[in-house]
A = this chain, B = another copy of it.
Amino acid sequence: MSVFDRAKIDAMEKRFRAAFINSLSGFKSANLIGTADKEGHPNLAIVSSVIHLGSDPPLFGLVMRPPVVPRHTYENMRSTGIFTVSHVHADITEQAHQTSARYPRELDEFQAVGFTPEWRDGFKAPFPKEARIVLGLKLEREVPIEENGTRFMIGSLQWVDVPDDALAEDGYVDIGHAGTVAISGLDAYHRTSAMSRYSYAKVGKPIQKLDPIKGFSTR
């Protein structure tokens, strides 16, 4: 076991520190953010910071890096007020990672990495046809994170596509069954295998294991 105090962390070489610190929050979501500019030119970018903010209303948050250089996804989100979030699954991981290259504005990441842009009627943000779980969101608010210039973007869910065989009877979506992967650090992609679902924890009552799909107790 090694202990790293703040002085040791601050003294780390820049890229070493980025890889190190990025690993420490635990596993991260792997999502592709689909946007378009006012003229409808599509854009796609991988992010690992999408989180659940609330279920009623259905809200999600994600972190955008500081807009010190042109950031097409950020500009498109602000300009159209909408975006899509598509889970990265195991069959599209390499293409998804490639969207993080700094393509010039006129180059469309869908074409560059080999995804097919798909559009939902009346919703002006595209998503990859190759994705299995896709969320359509409306940008509700942008919170500046003064500490480092990043932006916390809050979106409300407008619609979602879910494969029928991944939806459990109690509402749980078995995203691992749909192939969704997890990220750790800056660049490490992981498949998952379900250990267990656990019953709602109550004081003085032992936890029960739930069947992953049905949401029923199995012991």
Cβ–Cβ contact B50 & A26, under 8 A? yes
> Which of B13, B58, B185 touches A9 (beta carbons < 8 Å)?
B58
Q: Does A81 contact B (CB under 8 A)?
A: no
* Contact residues in B for A188 (Cβ distance below 8 Å): 172, 174, 194, 196-197, 212
Q: How many copies of the shown chain assemble into the complex? A: 2
Whole-angstrom CA separation of A100 from B198 in the bound complex: 11
Q: Does A195 contact B (CB under 8 A)?
A: yes
Question: Is the interface on chain A under 10, 10 to 19, 20 to 34, or 35 or more residues?
Answer: 35 or more
A82-99 vs B, Cβ < 8 Å mask (1 yes, 0 no) = 000101101001100111
A192's nearest neighbour on chain B, judged by CB, is B190
A193-208 vs B, Cβ < 8 Å mask (1 yes, 0 no) = 1111111111101010
Cβ–Cβ contact B29 & A147, under 8 A? no
The stretch from A34-42, A69-77, A155-163 touching chain B is A155-163
Q: Does A25 contact B (CB under 8 A)?
A: yes
A3's nearest neighbour on chain B, judged by CB, is B161
Cβ–Cβ contact B4 & A159, under 8 A? yes
> Which of B13, B173, B202 touches A20 (beta carbons < 8 Å)?
B173
Q: Does A105 contact B (CB under 8 A)?
A: no
Cβ–Cβ contact B98 & A12, under 8 A? no
CB within 8 Å for A147 and B203 given contacts A24-B160, A192-B191: no
Cβ–Cβ contact B3 & A159, under 8 A? yes
* Contact residues in B for A160 (Cβ distance below 8 Å): 3-4, 9, 24
A86 nearest CB across to chain B (Å):
10
Cβ–Cβ contact A97 & B152, under 8 A? no
What are the 10 closest A-B residue pairs judged by CB atoms, nearest first? Answer: A26-B29, A19-B171, A16-B171, A23-B173, A27-B182, A20-B171, A190-B192, A101-B201, A21-B55, A54-B148
